[in-house]
Amino acid sequence: MESLTFRHTTKTPLAGSKPQAITGVVASGNLEILLERVLPPDTCEVAIETPVSGYGQVWEAVVADFVARAQPGGLRISINDGGARPDTVSLRLLQGARLMEA
Amino acid sequence: MAGPDRDRLSWYEASARQRLDALLDPGSFTEALGPAERRMSPHLPLFDLPRAFDDGIVVGAGVLDGKAVFVAAQEGRFMGGAFGEVHGAKLVGLLRAAVAAKPAAVLLLLDTGGVRLQEANAGETAIAEAMRAIVEARAAGVPVVGLIGGRAGCFGGGGLIAGTCSRLAVSEGGRISVSGPEVIETNKGAEEFDSRDRALVWRTMGGKHRRLIGGADAFCADTVAAFREAALRLIADAPAFDLDTLVAEQDRLQARLDRFGDCRDATDIWARLGVNDPDAVPAMDTPAFEETVAHLREATHDAR
Amino acid sequence: MADWRGERKARDARIEAGRAHAQGKVVPAGEATALLDAVLKPGDRVCLEGDNQKQADCLARALSQCDPARVHGLHMVQSGIVLPEHLDVFETGIAERLDYSYSGPQGARVAKMLYGGQIKLGAVHTYLELFARYFIDLTPHVALIAGVSADREGNLYTGPNTEDTPTIVEATHFKNGVVIAQVNEIVDKVPRVDIPGDRIDFVVEADTPFFVEPLFTRDPAAMTETQILIAMMAIKGIYAEYGVRRLNHGIGFGTAAIELLLPTYGEKLGLKGEIATHFALNPHPTLIPAIESGWVRQVHCFGSEVGMDRYIRERPDVFFTGADGSLRSNRALCQTAGLYACDMFIGATLQIDLMGHSSTVTQSRVAGFGGAPNMGSDPHGRRHPSDPWMKAGREGQVVGDPALMRGRKLVVQMVETFGEKLVPTFVERLDALELAKKIGLELAPVMIYADDVTHIVTEEGIANLLLCRDADDREQAIRGVAGYTEVGRGRDRAKVEELRARGIIRRPEDLGIEPLDADRSLLAARSIKDLVHWSGGLYEPPARFRNW
């Protein structure tokens, strides 16, 4: 298993006040994402556990694009990966952010 | 999600959390040991396998049409819904808590291939403990109702747990058995049971067969609404858990063996049960199948 | 003095030799090898029928059991290398040379045997190209074909899977060749005559019915949100944009998702009757909901599909059927239809390079082409206009007199940026080039050349290559939809934004599509069982696709 952590500063906090959400399932080619509103409003941290090693740069790019797009300030995001493709990761992150905004 | 979408949600396709969310009264669910507590498997990292925050089972309390219920839902897509140490302990804890709390029922949304190979001892123990806990809950007057219609079916120890429940509801896609198709083929050969013949697998273990022979007490369309309706009905008519019931169950199983023991295929059993056109059963839609069931004696009984 | 009847006499002699094993034309399965030993001569060109669907498997087994001392050095000219026996004959020396088209399941073994020199390869063709060569320089001496039933005169019923048979028989019989057919049964009267008896020399009563692969069945249960998103973009950004009515679909999940979105998402967009009305296509089970909702007017088929026969029989307004009611398919004619009468081909591939060349070859597999390069090419012989064809032509026109502009076929590659096991679809250099070098192919096995491709659709967006004006536009357009692959991450971000402003790249949001709306609930059918319901119980899926 490989562990990766990325920390970003955001321009704004994520809208909404939902404290916590989870989406996705740990299955082959899929992943689960736990979102918790526990950090300072201008900070986002994404921690990943993945069985597929060597894709650090791809994760970094996916997370950076997500942060730029969703501005998820205040969130600690934890991922259990089952070998998901980057587009699936991206989709789940956006789904997660939408749940937190609700 | 609310309203018609929630009701039409496919049980087979939904995740454990989606099933619970749509099954229970909106906003009524309180989870115990939720994902944020991160009670994950201590064993899977040793095998370089990913973990799930809830170890593949969601447990807690909620309200079903105004009735307080306890619920446990297995995630069939995480490790095939299999029982590991934490997964099993969460289920057992819930059942034991039910003895004291006396909810209107415990609903088990089973979706499992059995025991997790990577933590088999703990898993086997959990199965035994869960069966005992179910018996104790039933003895305390709390009906335990199994709802089965997920991808993983209900196999191995899950099949044993299902056999311990007060009542079972199953959909067409759901399968209930102890040994799975591949296990039977491996041990007895493809001539005995060809696991790739999916029509055979479903004829032998699928929801329709289980309903016809009285192994399941309700047959549901593959929607959350159908399972909700079935759960309410089964809670209301759960049998007493006493010696008479157990003796009746033993007699019924013995009679089943005597009556069908020489059948070579499920269709033989259905014919003997009095189904007019057994070959037509797999293709029947839910209303046509319900109609067929209504005419059979075996499908309805009090014993389990 | 020249002998103008040498071939004819040789054929008569072969038939005479075969007669010893036949009663009239009929040969029992057990005598099939003896028949072939008698009829075949060393070095013969032999067409053993079989493609990506039906297989003359009984005759393939019989051929593989021939005596290599008598029968050797054959030149196999056949659509498909699919069964193990198709390659066994090269190991025993019965066969030596090969010209073929498709080799799905045997792709790895083909590569190994080419590398080991056990097969002398002529070329890997498209179906239509190989059929064409049957009439010019690869005419079979002997054809071994498959049918459903025959009478004692040899009148042949090929059933719904007619496929390649008429073409093979045409080339073989009318040029002094011998035609041997395996059939599932001998009957007094065939349901319909697909091949007249005087073109069939021997009929072998097979021990088992010929094998057909259900290659075109895609289980809706396995369709992902990403595939649905891509399908939504294709419908809105290409089908609707160009008004594509006449088309061919590939075999993958992406196009199957489009088929399942027509009656739902397509309906919502008000596109019924405006797009996807006429198909050159096998009878895909996933097309059933669109047919039942009145979207599809007409479908001509290369072959049939396992389980679809009863449904097709009940929908003769849509499909081509015979007087007996069953489907009449014809691969050569359907390929021609796909080439000349369709305005669009849309399908998937395994690798795309920076210019847009694509290939399904990996470093260890030669999968062959089948029909895709034929469908997925711009036919320069086309002379009839249509709106989509003319619009594509205008978009691609850079210089020259507009009065002399011709149209363009839309050739669309629809791919996910990563394939199975996180293998990137977009690459700097195709594996096909490496493989060609390794096994000494003169022509690298490219599925669709870059100059034929008009659009690439991925989950990240649509790249319209028609609008690109130079090599840099093109490369950045491809990088701009290549997602998080190395090729995608290597993009020039400013250039990609410029391309987006020019409409060369269109993102989901540019098309008014919200990626989070790409949900499985949009599919008209979410399981095989749903397809059975849509068909009114007429579709009978193979056991392996059932869960009831």
Categorize the per-residue pLDDT at B3 as very low, low, confident or very high, splitting at 50, 70 and 90: low
Provide the chain A residues 2-41 that lie in CB contact (below 8 A) with chain C. none
| List of chain B residues whose C-beta atoms are within 8 Å of the C-beta of residue A1 | 45, 48, 50
Instruction: Name the percent of chain B lying above pLDDT 70.
Output: 96
Categorize the per-residue pLDDT at B2 as very low, low, confident or very high, splitting at 50, 70 and 90: very low
Any idea what the Cα angle at residue A46 is, between residues A45 and A51, rounded to 5°?
155
CA torsion, points B180, B182, B188, B190, in degrees to nearest 10? 130
**Interchain proximity B78–A20, CB inside 8 Å:** no
* CA–CA min distance B233, chain C (Å): 25
Residue B1 predicted with pLDDT over 60:
no
CATH of the domain at B50: 3.90.226.10
User: CA-CA distance, C178 to C10, in Å (whole number)?
Assistant: 10
* Nearest C-alpha in B relative to C223: B13
For residue C439, what pLDDT is reported? 83
- Segment B278-289, tens digit of pLDDT: 999 998 989 999
Instruction: Give the single-character DSSP code of B62.
Output: E
User: CA-CA distance, B142 to B161, in Å (whole number)?
Assistant: 16
**Is the CB of B51 inside 8 Å of chain A's CB atoms?**
yes
Residue B138 lies in a domain: yes
Judge whether B159 and B122 are in contact, CB under 8 Å: no
- Provide the domain count of chain B: 1
Residue B111's φ and ψ, nearest 5 degrees, are -160, 85
- Write out C495-544 in H/E/C secondary structure: HHHHHHHCCCEECHHHHCCCHHHCCHHHCCCCCHHHHHHHCCCCCCCCHH
Which chains does C contact via 3+ CB–CB distances below 8 A?
Answer: A, B
* CA–CA min distance A35, chain B (Å): 9
**Interchain proximity A80–B75, CB inside 8 Å:** no
Residue B208 lies in a domain: no
Judge whether C208 and C56 are in contact, CB under 8 Å: no
| List of chain B residues whose C-beta atoms are within 8 Å of the C-beta of residue C221 | 13
**Interchain proximity A25–B52, CB inside 8 Å:** yes
Residue B262 lies in a domain: no
The candidate with the shortest Cα–Cα distance to C388, out of C526, C169, C242, C498, is C242
Residue B26 lies in a domain: yes
For residue C399, what pLDDT is reported? 81
- Segment C30-48, tens digit of pLDDT: 999 999 999 999 999 999 9
**Interchain proximity C532–B283, CB inside 8 Å:** yes
Of B13, B199, B208, the CB nearest to C546: B199
SS3 A21: strand
Residue A33 predicted with pLDDT over 90:
yes
| List of chain B residues whose C-beta atoms are within 8 Å of the C-beta of residue A49 | 50-51
Q: Which of A78, A80, A92, A95 is the mutation pick for testing B, counting most B CBs within 10 A?
A: A80
Contacting residues for B191 by C-beta, under 8 A, at least 6 apart: none
| List of chain A residues whose C-beta atoms are within 8 Å of the C-beta of residue C225 | 88, 91
| List of chain C residues whose C-beta atoms are within 8 Å of the C-beta of residue B199 | 543, 546, 548
User: CA-CA distance, C141 to C163, in Å (whole number)?
Assistant: 20
Which chains does A contact via 3+ CB–CB distances below 8 A?
Answer: B, C
C453-478 average pLDDT score: 97
* Nearest C-alpha in B relative to C532: B283
| List of chain C residues whose C-beta atoms are within 8 Å of the C-beta of residue A85 | 226, 416-418, 422
- Segment B36-69, tens digit of pLDDT: 999 999 999 999 999 999 999 999 999 999 999 9
Instruction: Give the single-character DSSP code of B182.
Output: H
Please give the structure tokens belonging to residue A71.
């501005």
* CA–CA min distance B172, chain C (Å): 6
For residue B126, what pLDDT is reported? 96
Please report how the helices C253-261 and C225-234 are oriented relative to each other, as an axis angle in degrees rounded to 10: 70
* CA–CA min distance C418, chain A (Å): 7
Please give the structure tokens belonging to residue A60.
């970094």
- Segment C485-509, tens digit of pLDDT: 999 999 999 999 999 999 999 999 9
Contacting residues for A60 by C-beta, under 8 A, at least 6 apart: A4, A6
Of A52, A62, A98, the CB nearest to C422: A52
User: CA-CA distance, B282 to B173, in Å (whole number)?
Assistant: 11
Categorize the per-residue pLDDT at C363 as very low, low, confident or very high, splitting at 50, 70 and 90: confident
Of C521, C537, C547, the CB nearest to B283: C537
**Is the CB of B49 inside 8 Å of chain A's CB atoms?**
yes
Instruction: Give the single-character DSSP code of C236.
Output: I
Of A20, A25, A51, the CB nearest to B15: A25
Residue C149 host element (H or E)? strand C142-150
For residue C2, what pLDDT is reported? 84
**Interchain proximity B282–C537, CB inside 8 Å:** no
SS3 B47: helix
User: CA-CA distance, C408 to C215, in Å (whole number)?
Assistant: 30
* CA–CA min distance A6, chain B (Å): 19
* CA–CA min distance A40, chain C (Å): 27
Residue C357 predicted with pLDDT over 90:
yes
Cβ neighbours around B48 below 10 Å, total: 10
**Interchain proximity A55–C418, CB inside 8 Å:** no
C286-297 average pLDDT score: 98
**Is the CB of B53 inside 8 Å of chain A's CB atoms?**
yes
Categorize the per-residue pLDDT at C67 as very low, low, confident or very high, splitting at 50, 70 and 90: very high
- Segment C160-172, tens digit of pLDDT: 999 999 999 999 9
- Segment B66-95, tens digit of pLDDT: 999 999 999 999 999 999 999 999 999 999
ipTM, 2 dp: 0.96
* CA–CA min distance C493, chain A (Å): 13
- Segment C523-539, tens digit of pLDDT: 999 999 999 999 999 99
Average pLDDT, chain B: 94
Residue A46 host element (H or E)? strand A43-50
**Interchain proximity A36–B36, CB inside 8 Å:** yes
**Interchain proximity C422–A95, CB inside 8 Å:** no
For residue B4, what pLDDT is reported? 57
Residue C69's φ and ψ, nearest 5 degrees, are -70, -30
| Domain A2-101 coded CATH 3.30.230 | yes
For residue C104, what pLDDT is reported? 82
**Interchain proximity A49–B35, CB inside 8 Å:** no
* CA–CA min distance A64, chain C (Å): 12
pTM to 2 decimal places: 0.93
Q: Which of B107-121, C63-77, C388-402, C465-479 has the lowest mean pLDDT?
A: C388-402
For residue B303, what pLDDT is reported? 57
User: CA-CA distance, B13 to B22, in Å (whole number)?
Assistant: 13
* CA–CA min distance C484, chain A (Å): 6
Categorize the per-residue pLDDT at B299 as very low, low, confident or very high, splitting at 50, 70 and 90: low
**Is the CB of C297 inside 8 Å of chain B's CB atoms?**
no
A60-71 average pLDDT score: 96
User: CA-CA distance, C54 to C146, in Å (whole number)?
Assistant: 8
* Nearest C-alpha in C relative to B205: C548
* Nearest C-alpha in A relative to C424: A85
For residue C543, what pLDDT is reported? 87
Q: Which of A2, A4, A20, A22 is the mutation pick for testing B, counting most B CBs within 10 A?
A: A22
**Interchain proximity B50–A80, CB inside 8 Å:** yes
In C253-377, where do the E strands start and end?
278-280, 298-300, 344-347, 351-352, 358-359
* CA–CA min distance A39, chain C (Å): 26
Instruction: Report chain C residues touching chain A, CB-CB < 8 A.
Output: 224-226, 416-418, 421-422, 459-460, 483-484, 489, 515-516, 518
Cβ neighbours around C175 below 10 Å, total: 15
Q: Which string of DSSP letters, residue by residue, matches C179-207?
A: EEEEEEEE-SS-SS-SB-GGG--EEEE-S
Judge whether C522 and C265 are in contact, CB under 8 Å: yes
Categorize the per-residue pLDDT at C398 as very low, low, confident or very high, splitting at 50, 70 and 90: confident
Average pLDDT, chain C: 95
Residues spanned by the domain of B148: 3-176+216-241
For residue B5, what pLDDT is reported? 77
**Interchain proximity B199–C543, CB inside 8 Å:** yes
**Is the CB of A99 inside 8 Å of chain C's CB atoms?**
no
Judge whether A23 and A33 are in contact, CB under 8 Å: yes
* Nearest C-alpha in C relative to A84: C422
**Is the CB of B200 inside 8 Å of chain C's CB atoms?**
yes
Judge whether B98 and B89 are in contact, CB under 8 Å: no
* Nearest C-alpha in B relative to C220: B13
